[in-house]
Structure formats: structure tokens, C-alpha cells
Amino acid sequence: MCVPLLAGLVASACGSAWNDPYPGEERGANVLYTAFTERPKHLDPVQSYSEDEATFLYQIVEPPLQYHYLKRPYVLEPATAAAMPTLRRYDASGRELAVSADASKVARTVVEVRVKPGILYQPHPAFALDEAGAPRYMNLQPADLRGVRGLGDFEHTGTRELEAGDYVHQIKRLANPRLHSPIFELMAEYLPGLKTLQEALAVAAASDGGWLDLARFELPGVEVVDRHTYRITLQGAYPQFLYWLAMPFFSPVPPEVDRFFAQPGMAERNLT
């Protein structure tokens, strides 16, 4: 009687796990399964500031810098940047100082980032154009979204090249009073122009509940140099700033995508 019992145990051990939670057709495929302990609250890079959210967000947006995957201690390296940012430091009289100059002598630091040319955004309806070359989905009304539950429900998509202006747009979003970025106060200590911009945006937001077009507002201290270069001028010395450039807060957000999701009816469908 022991022989049939033993044979049954061996046979069951050779089969697949009875409580395997993963689809059988994906067994052996190049798929990584993971889990998260808390539901993400924000996936907007201007607001997100938790590890659970970062797990998802780093699959969506790419900051200019990243950490080398293997080196210890941790070392920054270019991600979407073509090279490590250049740093120039100046004293109160405008005289350029050595990068290693004493922090107490530094009045401002200029950080210049060059973006890799040729990077394209993944296909998205915000980039879709009609036959005349105009945005296809930028003047939607709630009725136009009937039946839309996800981005895949839009028939057309498009793409374009990543540009320096997309990074500047995201930095401006730190000052958007509707978004309440958790790093605004800290960044405003080194980028005083953020507070000036926030004040201007607060006035505009109070008078107009619609799309807040950040392109109409300047951010002192942050500028587009050319299509693939942007420059940030910090008050004083802030060596840690480069590490912020490896976080989603400073990843690019195209103005088209920002405007697309700001349309009436999007938030109600959890399209943000």
C-alpha cells in the first residue's frame, strides 16, 4: 500500500503548484513580478515623494541623471542627459570661482544640462495630430470622452523628441499652487524665482479655473538655452542639487501632456 501512496506523492511533486497566482501562459517568459505594500497616492512627478510611488514612477519618467546600477558607494551618471551637468560658481561681484571654492564665498551656482538628442516619447494621444498638423485631442469636451476609460481608448497617438523645454516646464510646475509640491519650500531657498512664479500663478489660478498655461510665465533663474540645453541658476552653493536631478521631481513633463490631462472630464475618469 505504501508503493501507490509514494507514487502519488512523486507525481504531485512533478506537477505545477496548485496555488500559483501567476498566469500559466507567462511561465518561463521574461516577466518580473513584484508587490507594493501601500497604494500609491500620486504618480505626478511634481507631487510624488514615497518609495511605493517611485517603483512605478521611474518606469514612466526619466530624470536627467541616475545612479550607476553596480557601483558602491553610489555614483551619479547621465540618464537622459548627454553628459554630467557643468557647474560654474560665482562670487557676489560676478567673478567666477573654482568649483571647489569655499561655499561661504559662492553667491550663485550655474548648472547647465545638455539633453541627449534623438530621444522620443512613447506614443501618447496628447501628441496626436490631425491632417492639418494641429493637436487632435486638445479641445475635448466631457461629451467627447464618453466611453473613454483609459489611454488605449483614444484611436490616435503621436510622439515627438524630448526637449530642454520639457524639463523647464516641469520645474515651473513645482510652483503651481494647484499641485502643492512637497519640495517647493526647500527648492525656493535656492531658486527664489519659484516664489515669484507661485505668486503670479496663484493670481492667475484664482481668476481662471481652467488650464494654467505655464508657458505664459517666466521662472527667473531657469532658462532654455537651446533645443537640447537648459540652465539653472541657484542662489549660493548647493552641492546636493545634482542628486535632486536624479529624482522624478526634475524629470521632463511635456506641456502637451500637462494640457491634455487638464481638460474637463479627465480627472473624473482617473486620467491624470
Q: Over the stretch 206-234, which tens digit does the pLDDT of each residue have? A: 987 778 999 999 999 999 999 999 999 99
Q: Cα separation of 261 and 201, whole Å?
A: 18
19 pLDDT band (50/70/90 cuts)? confident
Q: What is the pLDDT of residue 9?
A: 52
Q: Cα separation of 220 and 192, whole Å?
A: 8
CA distances to 6, 12, 13 from 3, in Å: 5, 14, 15
Grid cell for residue 101: 571654492
Residue whose C-alpha cell reads 557647474 in the numeric block: 87
Domains in the chain: boundaries: 51-269
Residue whose C-alpha cell reads 510611488 in the numeric block: 53
Residues in the chain: 272
7 pLDDT band (50/70/90 cuts)? low
Are the C-beta atoms of 172 and 222 separated by less than 8 Å? yes
Q: Over the stretch 22-70, which tens digit does the pLDDT of each residue have? A: 888 888 889 888 877 888 888 999 999 988 899 889 999 999 999 999 9
Q: Cα separation of 9 and 30, whole Å?
A: 31
Lowest-pLDDT choice from 8-17, 161-170, 260-269? 8-17
CATH superfamily of 51-269: Dipeptide-binding Protein; Domain 1 (3.90.76.10)
